[in-house]
Amino acid sequence: MIVLALDTAGSACSVALWRDGEVIAARSLPLARGHAEALMPMVREVAAAAAIDLATPDLFAVAIGPGAFTGLRIGIAAAAGMALAANRPILGISSLEIAAHAVPVAERQRRDVLVVLDSRREELFVQLFDSDLAPLGGPACSAPAGLAALCGDRPLTVTGD
């Protein structure tokens, strides 16, 4: 199975192609703004690097937030357009879940994972996962001072931006 994944929800613009569970091409640029201008050239670069036509992926995946509203619209619209043109399904994935899955297994053994993303509005998007990355609650918005209550006394691996 070939998957084309897009993430424009945060402070980076990222594109990756997976084939049978392995990344075959990827590109990520740190961007505060400019996702609309950067995304499609990056998609074409990644597809060319993997020698794949944009009609080839079996699935299109896209980060659906939480994150920057404009960035989310850009990524979702691009993924939806490509999926529609290729007559393939599209899958939305939480930005918090994406960040949790980026934590290596060795760093989360017997530890819960706390994902913390900057909302850029003096609050944080947070979600707690167990060591197998099953959610221990839903996503939440928290003031930085509220993190201690969420963490409790348990050992945690913390990730995010």
pLDDT at residue 71 greater than cutoff 90: yes
pTM to 2 decimals?
A: 0.90
Range of the domain at 89: 2-93
- 102 and 75 both lie in a single domain: no
Closest CA to 87 of 114, 58, 46: 58
Distance in angstroms (rounded) separating the CA atoms of residues 139 and 31? 24
Which CATH number is 40's domain given? 3.30.420.40
Annotate the chain with DSSP letters as a single string: -EEEEEE-SSSEEEEEEEETTEEEEEEEEE-SS-HHHHHHHHHHHHHHHTT--TT--SEEEEE--SS-HHHHHHHHHHHHHHHHHHT--EEEE-HHHHHHHTS-HHHHTT-EEEEEEE-SSS-EEEEEE-TT--BSS--EEE-GGGHHHHHTTS-EEEEE-
pLDDT at residue 122 greater than cutoff 90: no
pLDDT category at 119 given cuts 50, 70, 90 is: confident
- Is the pLDDT higher at 28 or at 147? 28
Mean pLDDT of the chain: 94
In terms of phi and psi (left: phi > 0; alpha: psi -120 to 50; beta: otherwise), the region of 110 is left
Q: Domain boundary residue among 93, 120, 146?
A: 93
Which CATH number is 135's domain given? 3.30.420
pLDDT category at 151 given cuts 50, 70, 90 is: confident
Q: Domain boundary residue among 93, 112, 139?
A: 93
Domain count, the chain: 2
- Structural tokens at position 99: 């960040």
